[in-house]
Every structure is written in C-alpha cells, then in structure tokens.
Amino acid sequence: MLLPNSSGEMMLTLALLALLWGAWANTLRADKKWRFEFYAFDFGFGALLAALLLAYTLGNSGSSSSFTFDDILTVASKRNMAAAVAAGTIFCLGNMMIMAGVTLAGMSTAIPAAAAMTILVTVVFLATGKATANPGLIYGSAGAAVAALAVIGMAQKAAAKATPVTKGLHPGWKSFILSCVGGLIGGFYFPVAESSRGGDIGVGSYAVVLFSAIGILVMTPLCNVFFLNLPVQGEPAPLTGYLKGSVKQHLLGLAGGALWAAGGVAFFAAMGASFTGAATMGGIHAAGFGGAVLAALCGLTIWGEPAGAPKAKGLLVGGAVLLAGAVAMLYLGA
C-alpha cells in the first residue's frame, strides 16, 4: 500500500490531512436549507465510496515488498475489523453532534469547540502512553485548548446579547454544548481505530477508513431516529424527507464524506509510515487539528460568522488563535 517514505512525502501527507479535514464542513455550511440529519446520510455514502476507491487504488500500489489492501483483508482478524467498524460508530455519534453545532451557529463556533475537546482527550492518551519529547508543551497544549474553550464560550455570551432569542436557549449556546460533547465523544475514535490498524492481524491504514465508513453508515440512521424526532432546530421530520433533497444537496453530502475519508486515509497512512524520522503520533494528530483551525477561518471569512455580533466575532478569532497555539504546542511537544 502507498505510505509516506520520506520527510517530504510525510509533510505533503500532513498538509493534505489538514486541508481535507478543514474543508469538509464547508459542504454542510454551503446549504443551510438542507437539514444536517439528511446531509449525514450522504456523508456516510460519500465516505464509503471514497474509502473503497482509495483502498483499491492507492491501497494496492506502492513497493512490491509492502502489503497491499487485498493482502491485508486476507490476514486481518475479524476482531480488528469489528473494532474499526465500532470506531466508525463512535465517530458518527460525535460528528452528528458537531454537524448540529455547525447548523446552529456555524463552523467558527462548532469546529474549534469540538477540536479543543478532542485535543484534551488526545493529551490524556499521549500522557498515559509512550513518553513524549516535551511533556511541558503537551500539557501546555491542553491549557491552550481549555483557554480556547473559555473564549469561545465568551463569544456565545456576546452573541446571545447581540442577537437575543425570545424563547429557549440561544442557538450559539446549543452549538457550543453539542460541539463540546461531540468533540469529547469523537476523541475516542482515534485510539479505537488505531487499535484496529496495527499489528500482524491489523486492518492497515486504508481498510481502517473503509470499515469506519461502514460504521458511520450503520450508526447514521440510529442517530437520526433521535435527531429527527427531537430536533435541535426546526420541526420533527420523517426519514423519508431525505428523498426530497435536490441533486446539489446530495452531492454536497457525498463530497463532504469523500473529503473526510480522504483525510482519514492521509491520517492513518502517516500513522503507518515507518521510515526514520517519520512524524510522531502527536504530530500527526496536530496536523488533523490544524484542519479545525482552517475550518474556523473559513467560517469567519467565507461565511461571515457570526452575523450581527461583531464582539462575538472578535472573540471567535481569539479562540481560533488559541486553538492554533494548542495545535502548535502539540506538534512541537510530540
């Protein structure tokens, strides 16, 4: 299978990881009339199709001495396959909450809040695992993530004052809470998925994304039973509402899932690299979190978030800067 074999290839892989994971949420944000619950179905289909395409092309290429995707399918244990599917269900649950957050208050609130929570989970796993190069920077990354959460929370308070609602909790606060919970849950995707990938009977860097996509498809309708009957915004809707979407709306969801899956392949391909000087686990995670910083900047610039609340926007810029600092310290500390 094709994996990075040099420092240059590793840097390119990490750059693609940040770009792809920073871009996918734009496909959700691009059509606010299309409910995220229905978008999630196409996201799952897009992820599966992209994972299949990459597995049977890049996964079967590379040096003749390396295992191919087809080889790995013959030796991987059913337990490891099941673990990768389970990881996908975990990701789906967390990601559905983050999608809800994006729908309520945009990318500049939901994505950084979720990423900050995931950084905290990642730091815990790094701290309890192998020794890191600089523990001070790793814990500093956690501190910066907490500070980012505090500033993003302050932004929601400012937004609530600038654009008050007459009934219920302000959408910004709903987004913040849902995204934090989603980021916390999603943070457990990586260790579960990584446990399925490695070893002599692991599923490898390409199949882990494929089996995760299967888990996403399995979990999406189960999550939607809840979200469509107890919606975070709007009225309850039947599952059949998915069939009323336009071609453009379905294509946006497919593109979002494909971007996420391609980023996932880049992530796990980097994790699977074994040449001298390959990026560390923390460094690869940092590149993924860099995508969250990019997504926040897209929300603030391309989509003009948050509308009608300039003070909140300034605070969200500060939150993005703190998140970038957390990402930098995680990369350097690992």
Share of the chain above pLDDT 70, in %: 97
Give this prediction's pTM: 0.95
Residue 277 pLDDT > 90: no
**Among the ranges given (32-46, 150-164, 195-209), the one the predictor scored with the smallest mean pLDDT:** 195-209
Please report the pLDDT score of residue 174 as a whole number.
97
pLDDT band with cut points at 50, 70 and 90 for residue 131: low
Please report the pLDDT score of residue 11 as a whole number.
94
Per the omega criterion (within 30 degrees of 0), is the bond before 306 cis? yes
Please report the pLDDT score of residue 34 as a whole number.
97
Share of the chain above pLDDT 90, in %: 83
Calculate mean pLDDT across residues 320-327.
97
- Percent of residues in the chain assigned helix, strand, coil, to nearest 5: 80, 0, 20
Q: What is the pLDDT of residues 280-294, one digit of tens each?
A: 888 899 999 999 999
Residue 62 pLDDT > 90: no
